[in-house]
Amino acid sequence: MKSTLRGARSTFKAFRRQAALLTVGLLAVFVAFPTAASADPVPGPPAGWSTVFSDDFAGGSGSAPSGQWMYDTGPGSNFGTGEIETMTNSSSNVYLDGNGHLNITALNNGGAWTSGRIQTTSANVGAPAGGKLEVTASIQQPNPGSGSGYWPAFWMLGPGQWPENGEIDIMEDVNSLSDVAGTIHCGTDPGGPCNEGNGIGSGLQACGGCQTGFHTYSMILDRTDASNESITFYLDGNQYFSVSEGQVGASTWQAAFDHNLSIIFDLAMGGGFPNGQCGCTTPSGSTSSGGTMSVGYVAAYTTG
Q: Where exactly are the structural domains of the chain?
A: 1-33, 36-302
Residues paired with 226 in a beta bridge? none
Whole-Å CA distances, 186 to 168, 198, 243, 268: 9, 10, 12, 22
Q: Which residues of the chain have pLDDT under 50?
A: 1-38
HSE of 220 in the Cβ direction (CA atoms, 13 Å)? Answer: 18
Whole-Å CA distances, 252 to 38, 81, 215, 230: 42, 22, 32, 13
Phi-psi region of 195 (alpha: psi -120 to 50; beta: other; left: phi over 0): left
Per-residue model confidence (pLDDT) at position 304 = 79
Q: Which amino acid is at 252?
A: T
Per-residue model confidence (pLDDT) at position 39 = 58
Cis bond before residue 190 (omega within 30° of 0):
yes
What is the CATH architecture assignment of 36-302? Sandwich (2.60)
Q: What is the pTM of this model?
A: 0.87
d(CA 229, CA 157): 18
